[in-house]
A and B are shown apart, each in its own frame.
Chain A
C-alpha cells in the first residue's frame, strides 16, 4: 500500500475526485500554478487544467461566495482558505448563506461545497497562522465540520466531504501534515513513514462523516481528542501507563455521541483535549453532552485541557500549547478522584 503524508493524502483525494468527476473544481489563494503554500494542490493544475484548479484573488468572502454559486449551479467546488485564521471574512458566506441555502429554499437550492483550511499551532505561526476556530463553526446549523488526524482518514474524509450534498468544513491540523506530533517540540520530528495510518490506499475510498475512531482501547479513562491533540493523548497515556479509551472524534458535527457515551459509561472518567481557547470551546459542548448522558456513571469531574484564553502567542507557543504536562496533570487528577 502506498505510504503518504497528510498533504499527499489530501492532494490524492482531490486528484481522485477531479479524475472521476469533471464537476469538481479546486481554487483558492496560490493553489493553481504554485500548488498552495502547503503544497496541497501541487500538480493538480498541470494534470487537470487551468479551469479545474486555479488561483483566486485574496478574498476569502469572495472565494466562498463563488463556491456557493458554483455549487448551487451543479458543480462540486473545493475551496481552500490559506489559513483558518483568514476565514473570518468568509464567515457570513458560510454561516448565513452556505449553511442556510437548503433550509431557506426548502431544498430548492443546495450548496454542496467543501472548504479546506489548515488549523492549529506548532509551527511558530503566532496569532494569525495558528488558530483553531472550530467552535465558531460547530455552532452553525446546516454545516458539517470535520478534522482528520492522519493521512488515511484525511483522504477518506475529504472524499466523503466532496461527495456530501451539504457544505462541509474540512479542517487540516497543519502540524500533522508531515508526521504525527506528540507534543514535544524538542524531540526529532517524526514522519508518517512506517505509521499504520500513513498507509493510504490508492484510488477511491470513503471514511464516513460522523463516525469517530477508537485509537486505543482501555478501561480507566476516556480521552476525547481531535486533530493534533490525538497524538499528544496517545503519548501521554502510554508514558503514564494508563489504560485509556482514546477517541479521535474525526467529525465534530455530526458527533459520534454513541461511541463517546458507551466509552464513558465503561470508564467512568472523561478528559477532553483541544488546542483552541477554553471558554466556549468545543470541549464545553462535549462536557455538557457527556454529563447529560453519563452523569450517574461518572467517578470524577469531567476535565478539559485546552489552550489558554489568549490569542495564540508567537514566542510563547509552547507555553500556550496544551502539551504533555498539562494533559498528564489532568489525567492524573481524574484518576485520583
Chain B
C-alpha cells in the first residue's frame, strides 16, 4: 500500500497485556491498598456518594490476617469456618472434575480457581431465595447454598442422574430450587434478564432481589449496557456483578476497554451505586454484597460491583493458558489466594490451626472423591448409561408440536434401521 500523507499523528492502537509467555511478570505497579479505604456510606445514600468507590478498592483482610476498617463485617467464627470449607470444597470439586475430563469422562469443564471467594462471599450475603443469574464460574454459589454436588457432577457427566437430561454442556447448571438461574453459554445475555426478574420482584411487592454476573470481558456486549440502563431507569432491586479476573480466554482485560478506567466506573454514568472490591478477600466481597443487597431491598435500586480478582486456571479444559500468559503469573498476582487469606485470618483470630486445615483439605478431597464415584456410577458421556436420545425432542415446547412428533418418528425409524 502506498504511504499516505497524514495530517495527524494518531495510529491504530491495539492493547496488549504487559506480559506474554517467556516474560517475567511483575505486577508491582498495581498498588495494593494498605489502608482499607474508602469508608462505608449508608446503603441508602445518593449514588454519587459511591463515585470514589468505583475507582478505589474495598478491602477488609490484611495479608497478615487482621480484619480491619469500616467494611469489616460482623460474622461468626462458625460462619467463617463454613466459608473456608465451601472454598475448599469448590476447589476440590474443580480439581477432580478437571482430572476426570482429562480422562475422557466428560466433554468439558471450567474451574473457578482463584476466584472462589467471589461466589461464596456473595452468596453468604444474600438470601437463598434471591435469584442469581450466574456465569459458568459461579459454582461456588451452588456449593454455598447446599446444592447436591452429586447432581452437579451428574450434569457434567450427562448421565442418567443429570437433571438436564444431557441437554446442556457441562457446568451450565440450572437449579431453580437453589435460586440459581439456568446458565447460558452466550455471554452477557442474562444480565438484562436478571434486571427483568428484579423488576418483576418489585412489581409483585416481593422482598426478594436478583443478582446478575458477568466477567469483565463480556461487559463489551450490548447486554451489559441494556442491563445498566434498565436497572437505572426502573431502579430495579438487583446487584450487577462484574468479576474482573483479568482474562477472557486469552484476551486480557484491556481488550474490554479496561486500560482507561475501572469496570465499576461504568456504573457512574448511569447513576448507579458503584463498588469495587478485592475479590480475593471474602470478607470484603461479603460486606460489599450485604451493602448492595440492603440498598436494593430498601428501594435504593441497583449497585454495580466490580470484583477484582484473578483467574488462576485456564478458561476451560479447552485452552492452555501457558500459550498466552506467563506460567507463573498466577503466583505473582499481588492479591494472594482467597482460601489462604481466609485461613490466615481464622488462625490470626485463634479460631483455626494448621492441623485442622490439613484435616479439612483431606476431608473435602475424600468427600469429593466418594461423591464423584457415586455420580460416575450413573454413567458418563462415554459410557453405555448416558441419557435416552429421545429426550432431545422434549422440552422444546411445553407440549410436543406435530412436526416434532413426526421428526421423533423419523428418528425412531433411523434407530431401528441401525439395529437391523
Which A residues lie at the B interface, using CB under 8 A? 25, 51, 56-57, 59, 61-62, 65-70, 72-75, 77, 89, 92-93, 96-97, 100-110, 141-142, 144, 164-166, 210, 253-255, 257-258
Contacts and interface: CB of A to CB of B under 8 A. Distances in A.
A106 B395 contact: yes
Contacts of A166: 397-398
Contacts of B182: 101, 104-105, 108-109
A129 to B, nearest CB: 22
A297 to B, nearest CB: 19
Q: How many of chain B's residues touch chain A, expressed as a range?
A: 35 or more
B139 to A, nearest CB: 16
A160 to B, nearest CB: 13
Contacts of B194: 69
A164 B401 CA distance: 13
A257 B223 contact: no
Contact of B193 (A25, A57, A68, A104): A68
A66 B193 contact: yes
Contacts of A141: 396
A216 to B, nearest CB: 25
B250 interface: no
Contact of A65 (B176, B192, B204, B233): B192
Given A73-B197, A257-B402, A142 B397 contact: yes
Contacts of B201: 73
A210 B401 contact: yes
Interface stretch (B167-175, B276-284, B349-357): B167-175
Given A89-B222, A93-B189, A257-B402, 15 more contacts: A61-B223, A65-B189, A66-B193, A69-B194, A69-B196, A69-B200, A75-B203, A92-B186, A101-B182, A102-B395, A102-B396, A102-B398, A103-B167, A108-B174, A109-B174
24 contacts: A62-B192, A65-B189, A65-B191, A65-B195, A65-B227, A65-B230, A66-B196, A66-B199, A69-B195, A70-B199, A72-B193, A72-B196, A72-B197, A73-B200, A74-B204, A92-B189, A93-B223, A96-B189, A100-B184, A104-B172, A106-B163, A107-B395, A142-B397, A257-B403
A110 B398 contact: yes
Given A66-B192, A166-B397, A254-B403, A108 B176 contact: yes
Contacts of A69: 192-200, 210
A217 B184 CA distance: 48
Contacts of B210: 69
A254 B402 contact: yes
Given A57-B233, A101-B182, A142-B396, A254 B198 contact: no
B243 interface: no
A96 to B, nearest CB: 5
A143 to B, nearest CB: 9
Interface in B315-347: none
B229 A57 contact: yes
Contacts of B189: 65, 92-93, 96-97
A335 to B, nearest CB: 30
B67 interface: no
B181 interface: yes
Contacts of B195: 65-66, 69
B184 A97 contact: yes
B116 to A, nearest CB: 24
Interface string B178-189: 000110101001
A106 B186 contact: no
Contacts of A110: 398
B242 interface: no
Nearest to B232: A57
Contact of A62 (B163, B174, B230): B230
A144 to B, nearest CB: 8
B164 interface: yes
Contacts of B233: 56-57
Nearest to A107: B395
A93 B403 CA distance: 24
A255 B233 CA distance: 40
Contacts of B200: 69-70, 73-75
B184 A104 contact: yes
Contacts of A93: 189, 192-193, 223
B108 interface: no
A101 B196 CA distance: 15
Interface string B210-233: 100000000000110011011001
Given A104-B167, A104-B168, A70 B197 contact: yes
Contacts of A67: 196
A101 B167 CA distance: 11
A121 to B, nearest CB: 28
Contacts of A105: 164, 168, 174, 176, 182
